[in-house]
Amino acid sequence: MVLLRKLPGMPGWPAALGLRLPQKFLFLLFLSGLLTLCFGALFLLPDSSRFKRLFLPRRATASASSSSSASSSSASSSSTRDTELPRSPPAAAEPRHASPAAPRRPREKLRTAARMAGPNRTAPGPRQQPQGGESRAQPAGSEPPARDTRAPFRFDYERFRRSLRHPVRGGRRGEDPETRARRMKIKEMMKFAWDNYRQYALGKNELRPLSRNGHIGNMFGGLRGATVIDALDTLYIMELQEEFQEAKQWVEQSFDLNVNGEASLFEVNIRYIGGLLSTYYLTGEEVFKNKALQLGEKLLPAFNTPTGIPRGVINLGSWSWGWASAGSSILAEFGTLHLEFLHLSELSGNPVFAEKVMNIRRVLSRVEKPQGLYPNFLSPVTGSWVQHHVSIGGLGDSFYEYLIKSWLMSDKKDSEAKKMYDDALEAIEKHLVKKSAGGLTYIAEWRGGILDHKMGHLACFSGGMIALGAQHGPQDSRQRHMELAAEITSTCHESYTRSDTKLGPEAFRFDAGSEATATRLSERYYILRPEVVESYMYLWRLTHHPKYRLWGWEVVQALEKHCRVESGFSGIRDVYSTTPTHDNMQQSFFLAETLKYLYLLFCEDDVLSLEDWVFNTEAHPLPINHTDFRAPWG
């Protein structure tokens, strides 16, 4: 023992105390007993003890137990063991969308920015202290396994389908030949994209069409088949039956959830869980529900922070230290969970998912909003804003989208979400909506009170969102908001028409005499993004103005000319080049969103009717809760 080791030139320290041999023996016996007692006491401390975590390794048994329990429960589940559609939980105490590179499509550089904006840079404002056991962090190792997903009721799927006001694929009424021909062209594009993915990259996350191989990446923590999950509901809606069965078979036989790696909570939720839930509601196939519930349980440790605001990254293979990261959480990431998590609770009978997202609302209701705006970074430790950067594009976008859609999904009962949306939109109108010298309306970004006169492609979803929300507002604001939605969508269309390829850049600016064009080389690329055609689809359905279909067909022609290659579709590096180079990536969201929205743009309104469905931020349709579908056992 180091304590008893002699130092050069000095006697052992027990001898230095003048102790005789019997006394030394008794002293050493006492000291050994004391050390044994102290070490043993570590095992009696609660799992939440920080002192215990200094000495003992994390326990992975809880995770394994939870996963095993969920797996066995799901395996024994039958088609009669479903639950009801999501009902909005009771409104939280008081007040309450997605991003570009981070939320809507998080990229590493944005995550790095969030981490670098750590708590030591917290913007001035009231410091939020954890209150009660609910908001206090517990180490992920102490998170109890989620309760058995078997619920004491079942989901009456047939009754649910009968309750829909429109057939999922529409009523097949007569239509003009040109509209049908254009829709069939988009269906052919989907089949082409899927066939090449299946041939060269099945099981990988995305297709590299130029090199004809697959891309895995590090965004999904070891999960594979992102394109499969993202494409499922699009294949179903387009009636690509053989291709849908191929995708379903891969999920049944090859989709492995036992992975170990760091994943984006946001991306796994919107792509994997959203895609699985959507396909279950469309088809009634149990495999999709069971996979969604199992994967949902793997995301719960991300919420083990002092405030309950989840971290953006979760290790899918172990119960990681929930609050250990010093980075910030991104508004569009932790604010884009509500729709999917309510469905997870309703289909599992486990309220923990709904409780997690309702707690996020409680935290946001307590924190002060500068000028009524929601900054993009929040500390999951203190519950305070980190920097005052506000954007309706990347880092912020889908947070606002999920407010209005939460209200719609609750069949307009979640009044808290509606108020939070209305208040946020009012602040956006007041501080961020601007008009250029050429008369183009855009939404600027806000950096601590200073406006940055640029708009990202990701922010172009807002035209559709504002139009959707306008349908349910007072008459005086309805017309104003519909005009605003149309103007923003027109500006985004201008960003397309002012490029040589007729495709829009990643971001465009309104300064130095430039309007709706990218002025920086780093903003000139197009990666098959959907936000502009998303707004075209909503504006078409809500106004039936023919220009939106015309604009959508222009996008189809540009995609065919500049993005279609021999083995799939690829993004391009410069929309202002007449001979653009390709980035060799067929993004999974191209199949989930871009092609789906284009297809719906040329469908009748009753195909995935807005009266029955809301789309998550990856365009996966989730049903509106018209009624209670719980049915007794037996």
- Exposed e or buried b for every residue in 252-280, given b needs 16+ CB within 10 A? eeebebeeeebbbbbbbbbbbbbbbbbbb
Q: Which of 508, 559, 497 is nearest to 530 (CA)?
A: 559
Give the CB-side neighbour count of residue 437, counting CA atoms within 13 A: 7
Q: Which of 535, 560, 574, 594 is nearest to 227 (CA)?
A: 594
Spatial CB neighbours of 438, under 8 Å, sequence gap ≥ 6: 515
- ∠587-296-252 over CA atoms, to 5°? 65
Give CA separation, 38 vs 4, 27, 33, 53, 313, in Å.
19, 17, 9, 15, 36
Query: Could you give the residue numbers annotated as active site?
Result: 267, 397, 506, 531
Give CA separation, 465 vs 291, 401, 473, 537, 599, in Å.
30, 6, 13, 11, 19
Q: What is the dihedral of CA 392, 227, 170, 341, to 10 degrees?
A: -60
Other C-beta atoms lying within 10 Å of the C-beta of residue 91: 16
E-strand ranges in 403-461 read: 433-435, 441-443, 445-447, 450-452, 454-456
Sign of CA dihedral 204, 208, 213, 218: negative
Rounded Cα distance, 521 and 163, in Å = 51
Give the CB-side neighbour count of residue 91, counting CA atoms within 13 A: 16
Q: Is 489 annotated as a binding residue?
A: no
Rounded Cα distance, 618 and 220, in Å = 15
Residues at the annotated binding site for Ca(2+)? 617
